[in-house]
Structure 1
Amino acid sequence: MKTPIISGTSFLSLSLTLALALSVATSPPAAVAEQQDIGSVSFSTSCSRSVQADFNRAVALLHHMMYVQSHELFADIARRDPDCAMAYWGIAMTALHPLWAPPPAEALARGQEALRKAREISPETAREKAYIEAASAFYQDWDKTRHRKNLEAWSAAQQQLYERFPDDVDAGALYALSLVATAPKEDKDYTHQKAAGKILERLRGKAPRHPAMYHYLIHAYDNPALAGRALEVAREYDKIAPEVPHALHMPSHIFVRQGIWPDTIDWNKRSAAAARRQPAEGKTSLHYYHALDYLLYAYLQQGRKKEAKATIAELQAAAEAQDEFASAYGIAASRARYPLENRDWRGAAALDPRVPGSFPWDKYPWTEAVVEFARGIGAARSGDSAAAVRSAGRLGELQEQTAAAGEQYWARQVKVQQLAVQAWAELSAGDQQQARALMREAADMEDSMDKHPVTPGPVLPARELLGDMLLASNKPREAVEAYRAALEVNAGRFNSLYGAARAAAEIGDNRAASKFYQELLDQAGEYGSREEIARARKFMEQQ
C-alpha cells in the first residue's frame, strides 16, 4: 500500500510530532487516574496483558469522542508497551474527528506517523492489520480539498473490516459512524443514518453497555424524521458514563429535535459542569462551549432571558478555549443567538465578530460568519441598510475562505447567511419584492441541507426569517405557512411559534392562533420572562 504523505511535511517533522505526543510526564493521565465509569468495551489485541484494561478504556473514550483524553491514554500505552501496534492505531483515530471538521495539519502529521509506526511493528493478527489499514484509508494523500473523499475511503475500508469480522462490535460501531459521517446533507430520506441505526441497534443487543451504541445511535437519529427512535437510548446514556461531559451532552441532540427544553437544560448543565472539571490541553474544553451553546438555545426557546444572559456571562468568563472547531462554533453561535433570539437588533449589529481576540478565528472562517450574519441581520432590522450591505460583502469573503478550506457544507451555509442579510438589506431599503425573492432562495437552500452534528440548529432558521419578512410585508397567510415549515424542522422554536400565532390572528384564524400561543405558553411554563409571553396570555384570556 502506498505510504500516506502530507505535502511539504518532512518525515523528520512527522517523527518529532509523534515523539512530542508521547513525551508527556510519566505519571498516568487523568483519564487513567480517575477511573470513572465510562461504559464497557472489550477490544482484544496482541498487546501486553498489562495494558489491555487501559486499551479498552482508551477505545471507550474514543467512542465517547473524548479525543484528548483518549489520545493521552493511547500515548501512555505506547510508552509502556512500545510493541503495541494498536496503541498507534488509537493515536491516529483520535486525530480523525469524522463528525466535526477537517483535522489540522499537526493532527494529521501525528496520525500519519502513528500509522507508519503501527505498520512497522506489524501486529500479529489479521484483524489488527485490517484496523490499521482501515484507518490508513482516511490519511491516504490527505488534504482539505479531499476531506470528503477521504472520509468515504475510510467508510469503504471500515465496511470491508466489518464484513470480514461481523461479530466485532467495534468494527461495526466505527462503520456505522462512518456512514453518519458520509451521509449526504441533502438526503432527506436519511439512507445512511437508517443503515447506521440498524447496525447499532443489532450490536446493542450484544454489547448493551458499549458507549458507541448510545453515542453513534443518537447521531444517526439526530434528524426530524428519526429522532423519536433514539429517545429511550438518550435517556439511558448517563447510566453508563455519568461523568463524561460529551455523554451528558449527547442526549440533548434528541431533546432539541423534539423541543424538550427542560431536559436539554438539565443535561447540558451537567455536561458543562463535568467539562469544567476536565480541562483539555490545559485550556477550557470544547465540550464546555458545546454544552453552553445547547443550554443557551434551550433557555431562549423557553423565553428565559435572565438565565440566557447568565449563560453568556459564564461563557465570556471562561479561561482560554481549546483550539477546536466546536469551541469556535459554541462561542460564536452563543454570542449571536442571544441578541437575535431576543430581537435585540441593535445589540446584534454591534457584535464584534472576533471575541475573544486570543482565539485563532482565521482557522474557522465559517464560525466568524455566524457573528457577521447576526451583525448584518441586526443592522438591516434596525434600519441601517448600508451596514447590512457591508456585512453581506464580508460574508461573501468568508464564504470564499470557507470553500478554500475544503468546507463545502459550511460554504453553502455561509451563502445562506449572505442571502438572508442581502434580503433584509433590500427590505430595509424598500424593495419588498427583491427582498422576498432573496429570502426564499436562502430558505430553499437551507432546507436542502440538514444541520451539522455540532449545532442545535441554525442561529436563525432562514424559513423563520422568511416568515418574519412576510409578516412585515403584510402577507400573514404566507407567513403562517413559512412558520409552520420552520417548526417542522426546528421543533418548539419560540419565535416561530409566536410569529405563527400573530400571523394566524391577523388572518382571523383564532383557532390556529390559540394553538400556537398555547404551545408557546406551555413550553415557557413559569420561567419565561419575554414580553411576548404576556401578549400570548392576554390573547388566550380573550378567547
Structure 2
Amino acid sequence: MKTITALLLASTLACASAASSQEMHSHPAPEKLGRVSFPTSCAPAVSHDFERAVALLHSFAYTAAEKAFREVADADPSCAMAHWGIAMSHFHPLWSPPAPDELAKGEAEAIQATRLGAKTARERALIAAIAAYYHDAGHVPPPARAKAYEAAMAVAASRYPADTEVQVLYALSLLATASPQDTSHANQKQAGAILEPIYRKHPDHPGVAHYLIHAYDSAELAPRGLAPARAYSKIAPSAPHALHMPSHIFTRLGLWDDSIASNLAARAAAHSQGDVGEELHAMDYLTYAYLQRGRRADAEQVVRSLDSMGVHAGAEFKVGYAATAMPTRLAMEGRQWTVASRLQAGDGAAPEVAAIVYWARAVANARSGQAKAADADIARLDACRQQLLASKKDYWATQVDILGKEARAWQSAAGAHPDDGVATLRRAADQEDAIEKLPVTPGPIIPAREQLGDLYLQLHKPQDALDAYKAALAAAPGRRAALHGAALAADAVGDSHTASQMRQLLSR
C-alpha cells in the first residue's frame, strides 16, 4: 500500500508566509492536509491528487474537494472513484442536507460512478453506498437516505475490517445518523470505538482526529476529545475547518482562551480562502468564547464586522444562523433588553433562524417588565414551530418549542404568575437537557437551566437558583453568567465556600 502525505506547494489552501528581511520574494507555506492512504484502480498518475482530494474531503473543504476530484476525473476519464468523490463532496454528512442543486449534482455523479464501474469490489461497495444516499432523492427524506448510506457502509466495513478509509467513512456515517435525542450517545461511542485504534496507528490522519472531535462533542464525552482536538489543527492547518474544530471540545470544557485562539486562526484562514460560511461559523464560536471570557469589547468588534461582510439571514443556513445568532448573543448575554427587543429577523430567514430573534425580543420585553409586548413574538415562535413541523424538521421544531416555552415562562413571571413561569421554564430545561445541540452552534444563546437560575434568583429563592446554576454549569462549564449567578445565590444562602469557588472560576 502506497502512503502519501497530502502536502502540496503553492495551492489555493496555502497561507502566505512572511518574507524574511534577507529575502527578495515571499514564498507560500507548504499545504498541509494530513496523511491519507487511499489506493484505487485509477491511473497511477492521479493517485497523489486523489489522496489530496480525500484529505480535503475529510476536513469538510467541500468546494476544494469537488474541484480536486474533478481534476482527477479530467486526468483519468475512466476513474469511477473520482465521481464517487464528487458525489461525496455534495453529501455533507454532519451539516444541513444538500440544497436542491447540490443534490442533483451529487446524484448525477453517483450515477456516473456506477456507470463507469470500478475495477475492485471495495470500490464498488463505496460507490454503492453513496448511490444509496442519492437514490430516489426527490421522494426519500434526508434522514432516511443517510440511514441507507450508513447501512451500505456497515456492509463495506464488515467486508473490509482492516481498511482504514472504509472504517473511517463508516464511523462518519454513524455520526451522521446519531439521534440528537439519544442521550446515551450510542452511535458516537460506536464511532469512537472504531476510530480510537486507528488514531493510535495513524495519528496524522485528518479524518480520524476530525471525526473523534465530532464523536465526543457532548458534555458526557468531551474529555475524551481533548487529545484529538489539540492534534487536529496541527495535522491539517491548511484547512480552515481543522483550525476551528478543536473549539467544539474547548467550548464543551470551558477552555475559552483555547477556543479564542482556535477560532481566530480559523477565521483568518477562511477569510483568506473566501470561505464565508466557515468564516461566519468561526466568528459565532469566537463571539461566544469572548463573552464567556469577559472580553465584551472584542465580541462587539466581531459582531460589528458583520456589517462589512454583506451577509444576511436569508443566506445558506450556516451563514444565516451565525449572522443572526451573533448579535443576539451579544445583546442577551449582556442583558441589554432594549437592544434585544429591537433585533430584526432578516428577510428570507429560515424559521429556525428567525425564531432566535423572536425569542430574544419576547424574553427581552418580558424581562424588562413589558409582558404584553411579548405576545406578538410568542405568536411568531408558534408559527415557526408549525412551519418546521410541516416541513418535517422535527429537531428544529423541538428547539423552537423550547424557545417558546422560555418566552412564555418569562412572560408569566412578568405578569404576576411566577409559579407558572417556573413550571414552564423547568419543562423547557428538561426538554433542552434531553436533546443534543447540532455542530452549527456552540450552544443555546442562554441555556434554559441557566435561565431557570435567573428566574429563581429574581424570585428570591437563592437555594433553588444555586441548584439550577450548578446543573447548568455541569452541562456547560465555565459560562460566565451562570458562574456569576451561582456566586450571588451562594452569597444569599450563606455558602461562602461555593461563592468563593465560583468567583475564582470567573477570575481565571
- Alignment pair present for 1:287 and 2:278: yes
Deviation at 1:401, TM superposition (A): 2.1
Query: Does structure 2 retain, via aligned residues, the 8 Å contact 1:98–1:181?
Result: yes
For 1:161, give the aligned amino acid: A
Map Cα deviations across residues 424-460 of structure 1 (whole Å, 9 max, x no partner): 1111221112111111111111010111122111111
What's 1:528 paired with?
A: none
Task: Report how far residue 253 of structure 1 moved.
Answer: 0.7
> Deviations for 1:481-524, whole angstroms, at most 9, x for unmatched residues?
111111111110001111111111112222221211221122xx
Equivalent position of 2:374 in the other structure: 388
Q: Is the CA contact 1:29–1:72 (under 8 Å) kept in the aligned structure 2?
A: no
Query: Deviations along 1:12-52, whole A, 9 cap, x unmatched?
Result: xxxxxxxxxxxxxxxx9835998611011111112222222
Offset of 1:319 from its aligned partner?
4.1
| Corresponding residue number in structure 1 for 2:7 | none
Mind listing any 5+ residue stretches in structure 2 that lack a counterpart?
Answer: 1-9, 16-27
Which of 101, 104, 108 is matched with 1:109 structurally?
104
Contact 2:13 2:239 in 1 (8 A): no
Are 1:275 and 2:257 matched, yes or no?
Answer: no
Does the CA contact (< 8 Å) of 1:29 and 1:76 recur in 2?
no
Give the 3-state SS of the residue equivalent to 2:305 in structure 1. Answer: helix
Partner residue, 2:200: 205
Question: Is 2:480 the partner of 1:485?
Answer: no
| CA shift for structure 1 position 349 | 0.8
Structure 2 partner of 1:225: 220
Distance 1:126 1:38 in 2: 28
Are residue 57 (structure 1) and residue 52 (structure 2) matched?
A: yes
1:183-202 aligned at under 5 Å gives the runs 183-202=178-197
Within 5 Å, give how 1:77-116 maps onto structure 2.
Answer: 77-116=72-111
What is residue 355 of structure 2 aligned with on the other side?
A: 369
Q: Who is 1:128 aligned against?
A: 123
Report how far residue 208 of structure 1 moved: 2.2
Equivalent residue runs for 1:229-248 within 5 Å: 229-248=224-243
Show the counterpart of 1:504. 490
Contact 1:40 1:60 in 2 (8 A): yes
Partner AA of 1:215 in structure 2: H
Task: After TM superposition, list the pairs within 5 Å mapping 1:402-421 onto structure 2.
Answer: 402-421=388-407
Aligned twin of 1:331: 323
What SS does structure 1 have at the residue aligned with 2:35?
coil
Task: Judge conservation of contact 1:145–1:406 (CA < 8 Å) in 2.
Answer: no
Pair 1:348-2:334 in alignment: no
Q: Which structure ranks higher in relative contact order (CA pairs < 8 Å, sequence separation ≥ 6)?
A: 1
**Which amino acid is 1:313 matched to?**
R
Write the distance in 2 (CA, Å) between the matches of 1:194 and 1:519.
Answer: 31
Q: Is the 8 A contact 1:74 1:91 kept in 2?
A: yes
1:494 to 480, 483, 487: 480
CA contact (8 A) 1:348 1:378 kept: yes
The DSSP-based 3-state class of the residue aligned with 1:30 is coil
1:239-292 superposed Cα distances (whole Å, 9 cap, x missing partner): 221221100001111111110011100110000000001114xxxx21101101
Secondary structure, aligned partner of 2:36:
coil
Q: Which stretch has the larger CA shift, 108-117 or 44-53?
A: 44-53
Tell me whether 1:423 sits opposite 2:409 in the alignment: yes
Residue aligning to 2:19? none
Q: Provide the TM-score with structure 1 as the length reference.
A: 0.86
Residues 324-333 or 221-230, more deviating = 324-333
Match of 2:418 in 1: 432
CA distance in 2, matches of 1:516, 1:186: 31
Please state if 1:68 is matched with 2:68.
no
Aligned-partner Cα distance in 1 for 2:450–2:14: 47
- 1:317-350 alpha-carbon deviations (Å, 9 max, x no partner): 2244794322122111112100000111111111
CA distance in 2, matches of 1:143, 1:469: 47
Q: Secondary structure at the match of 2:39?
A: coil
Q: Any conservation in 1 of the 2:362–2:374 contact (CA below 8 Å)?
A: yes
Show CA shifts across 1:71-109 (max 9, x none): 111122222322211111111111111111122111111
Matched to 1:208, the amino acid is: P
Are the equivalent residues in 2 in contact too, given 1:389–1:421 (CA < 8 A)? no
Letter in 2 for 1:296: T
Contact 2:13 2:273 in 1 (8 A): no
Q: Does 1:146 align with 2:128?
A: no
Aligned residues: 485
1:307 paired to 2:302: no
Query: What CA distance in whole angstroms lies between the structure 2 residues aligned with 1:374 and 1:380?
Result: 10
Equivalent-residue separation in structure 2 for 1:456 and 1:32 (angstroms): 27
Contact 2:311 2:323 in 1 (8 A): no
1:171-202 Cα offsets, whole Å, 9 max, x none, are: 11111111112222222222211111111111
CA 1:205–1:430 in 2, change beyond 3 Å: closer, same or farther? same
TM-superposed CA distance for 1:203, in Å, is 1.3
Distance in 2 of aligned mates of 1:406 and 1:472? 38
With over 3 angstroms needed to count, the CA separation of the structure-2 counterparts of 1:514 and 1:320, relative to structure 1, is closer
The answer to whether the Cα contact below 8 Å between 2:300 and 2:330 also exists between their aligned partners in 1 is: yes
Aligned counterparts of 1:195 and 1:64: Cα–Cα separation in 2: 21
In 2, Cα distance between the equivalents of 1:258 and 1:144?
A: 41
Q: Which residue of 2 aligns with 1:540?
A: none
